[in-house]
Amino acid sequence: MTPAPTPSIFAPVSTPAFAIRDLSFFVLAITAVIFLIVAGFAVYALIRFGRRPTNPQTEPAQVYGSTQIELAWTVVPLLIVVVLFLVTARYIYGIERRPQPPGALEITVVGHQWWWEVRYPKLGIVTANEIHVPVSDAADPLPAFLTLESVDVVHSFWVPQLAGKMDVIPNKTNRVWIEPRQTGTFVGQCAEYCGLQHALMLLVVVVHPPDEFREWVAAQRTPPAEGAATKTGRELFSSLACINCHAVQGTPGNGAFGPDLTHLMSRSTLGAGAASNTPENLRAWVKDAGTLKTGALMPAMKLDDSQLDHLVAYLSSLR
């Protein structure tokens, strides 16, 4: 896997993102020509008609109204805007109207304050903040179609190297598709202000080679091992309020308010980018999530040290 590249629309790796870059270059080219012409005239006027000792101190000729000039500066910009509009509309239509092919991977992404729930309805997988997809072969494209929903406020799904920005709206379903042509880890962010921790809604998309993706799916579908060493922690988890908000397969926990923890340790960060997912940070998070992410909706659990130790030992075993 290559290291995480910069989230730039000028470094696309997925079909819709390539289209967006092409369109951006087209718009930039037209506006660059306009800029050069306008700035050129301005500089020419400054140099040619500047006040000089040799210049007579008289006003220039005063011109009132010129049908030709007025037509020129109305019609030409109008034509430019029409061209920009038509080309943009064509690109948007091309991306948004793409029908979902039968073999496409289906993923549901649900925006929460402030994390992303990620579901693979056909595969029975639920995870958070990290989306895993297989790489798409140019000869045999394998797109992933993402259904976007929100449980609270408006968020926006944006992974610049993979696709355009798409709002995530409560009581409305939006759709976005990606077709990554190279493996790697690509990052994005919630792109619509959604409250205190809008800045900590990191999106990570991991694009795997096909075999590796199958392995990931198999691992996610396997319930976590129940070791004897973590029995106390597991019982603690099941007896505490954790299970009201969190799910872990094979336990009474089936809450959906917070992230599914079945394979918690397969994820790289806690709190959607608030901290790296290490046992130390996990302990601090369970003790009082607010210390790592102010305003996080997970309450401080008011546990004593021994309870924390057992709980974190258990959670750290959820691979």
135, two tokens = 């790489």
The stretches of the chain forming alpha helices (DSSP H) are 15-49, 67-96, 210-221, 231-239, 242-245, 279-287, 305-316
Candidates 20, 125, 162, 194; binder of ligand CUA (CB under 6 A) is 194
Site string for ligand CUA, 196-215 (x = CB under 6 A): --x--x--------------
Q: Which amino acid is residue 156, in one-letter code?
A: S
Pick from 19, 190, 298, 315 the residue near ligand CUA by CB under 6 A.
190
Q: In the 8-state DSSP scheme, what is residue 164?
A: -
* Using rule CB under 6 A, residue 234 touches ligand CUA: no
Binding window for ligand CUA (CB under 6 A); candidates: 42-50, 55-63, 89-97, 188-196: 188-196
Q: How far apart are CA 178 and CA 185, in angstroms?
A: 14
CA–CA separation, 56 and 139 (whole Å): 72
Total interface residues for ligand CUA by CB under 6 A: 9
Name the one range near ligand CUA by CB under 6 A: 41-49, 192-200, 232-240, 286-294. Answer: 192-200
Query: In whole angstroms, how close is the CB of 198 to ligand CUA at the nearest point?
Result: 4
Is the Cβ of residue 116 or residue 314 nearer to ligand CUA in the bound state? 116
Contact letters (x/-) for ligand CUA, 72-111, by CB under 6 A? ---------------------------------------x
Residue 31 DSSP one-character state: H
The candidate with the shortest Cα–Cα distance to 119, out of 147, 143, 99, is 147
Crossing angle between the packed helical segments 67-96 and 15-49, to the nearest 10 degrees: 160
Residues that bind ligand CUA (CB under 6 A): 111, 114, 155, 190, 192-194, 198, 201
